Structures are given as structure tokens and as C-alpha cells.
Structure 1
Amino acid sequence: MTNDTRAIVEELLGRLAKGEHDRTAELFAEPVDWRLDWPEAGHPAVPWIRPRSSRADVADHFRSLDAHHVPELNATSVERILVDGADAVVLGTIAQTVKESGVAYTSPFALHLTVDDGLVTRYHIYEDSLTVARALGTQKA
């Protein structure tokens, strides 16, 4: 199971890096246990933060995320993948540039995934949400 979990996680990360939103969503179970490290109400500057449960929701999340950032300047990196049975933790750094303002930001992240029968059943990401909200809330001068 550990090898299967690692293979699915690596495939997921590869599809995300290529911006393959629909193919990325195919790796998720329905429903998926989805959580982002944000207050329940989200933040008005960060519209992609909302509850998700379906593959269509997953694809929409990543499309919306891309729509608000400059893809060519994405320097998000993965530093480590830890696997224990069906669970995996991905540690890394988000490095994005906001499309509207040109503001760049970085945030460490931890992504907790669970893989069952070849599909991601849990997607919980923890990041510095204050840094992200501040970057997205900055207006052009």
C-alpha cells in the first residue's frame, strides 16, 4: 500500500505542476474530505477557499487558484513526501505571484493526503493563510 500511496501522490503532484486540472480531479474520490487551513467563512480576497467535495469542485479549485496567479512565476516546491500506509504528508513551500497586483509571496505548507483504492480520499492543506490573504488583498498602486 505504501508504494501505491506514494505513486498516487507523485502523480497528483505531477498533474498539479502541469496545470492539468481535470486530470488532477480524476485522482480524487467522491466525496473527498477536503479542508484548507482557513476560517470557515474564508476571505473575500481568496475566492477559491470554500468547501469542496466532488471532482468538479477539485478542478474548479485549481482553476480558480491559477486564475489569480501568474503561472510562469509559480515556484512552489516540494521538500519531502512522507508515506505511512494510506496516508502521506507533503512538505514544501508555496511561492506564487498575484496576477492582479504583481505581489509575490511565499508560505510553508503541509499537505495531508489519504489514498484508498488508488484515489485521494483526504486533502487537508495547512499554509500561512495570513500571508496569502495579505498578498491577495493588496491592490495595484
Structure 2
Amino acid sequence: MSTVLRAARPAFRARTFFRPNTAARNGVRFQSTATDSAAAESWGKRFWNSEKGPKTVHFWAPMMKWALVLAGISDFARPAESLSLTQNAALTTTGIIWTRWCLIITPKNYFLAAVNFFLGCVGIVQCTRIGLYHQEQKKLAAAGASEGLKTEAVKSV
């Protein structure tokens, strides 16, 4: 049994996290590390070099998608009769699906999740406006049809 343990021991010690601290052995008490230099960097430099910084699609995709959100918000001023239900339903679905996806992927992109969440919210508001408009038109058509029947009855008498 002891021979098996002795044979496994050198391979076990070969891992870097089990090696003794060479800096402590050499008399060096403190040493600068990568985390110390990262803390000394400015916020702007860290943002510029990050995996979600402006040099990547993880930054520019949400920035461009904010244009869809702003266009949807500007459509709040338009009458509901001129809005497209299929377009707004597609924007709503896209926003909801991609919000969930942004929270699953690695690296998590909270900026993209936020823009998709707001895109879904804008789409829900617009679809609600369109639905209410169509309900109102059906009520007016039904009231007009019943009014038309009353006028036909009066004319026939």
C-alpha cells in the first residue's frame, strides 16, 4: 500500500498550487501581482480592455438596439390605427426571448439584457394599445350594426 502512495506522490506535488511559496523562501515579503496592477488602472482603461468593452460586439449590439427602443417610444405619439400588430408582436417576442438568453450566456451581458427588456416592455405597451383600438372598433361596428337595424325597422313602418 505504501508503494502505491509513494508512486502517486510526485505527480500530486507537480501541481502548481501545491508548490511552496518561492517568494517567501527567497525573503521577498510582498510582490506586485496582476490584481494590483488592475486596481491601479483607471475605470476607462479597464472598460476599454474588458471582454464587454467598446472593442467588442457585446458593447455595440446593445447600443444599436437602443434605436429600436427609442423608435418604439416615439410611436407612443402615433395613433394606434397606424401601428402594425405583427411588427410590434415581433419586437415584443424578440425582447422577451433575448432578455432571457442574455442572462444565460457566458459572459452575462446585462447591458444587452436591459435593452431587450425595455424592447419587450415597449412592444407590450404598443400591442396593448393596438388590441384596445381593435376592441373599440368592434364595439363601434356592433353598435353601428344595431343602429342600422333600428333605422331599417323605422323606415319599413
- Structure number with greater Rg is 2
- Same-fold call, TM cutoff 0.5: no
TM-score w.r.t. structure 2 length?
0.23
Question: Larger % of helix: which?
Answer: 2
| Structure possessing the higher relative contact order (Cα contacts under 8 Å, 6 or more residues apart) | 1
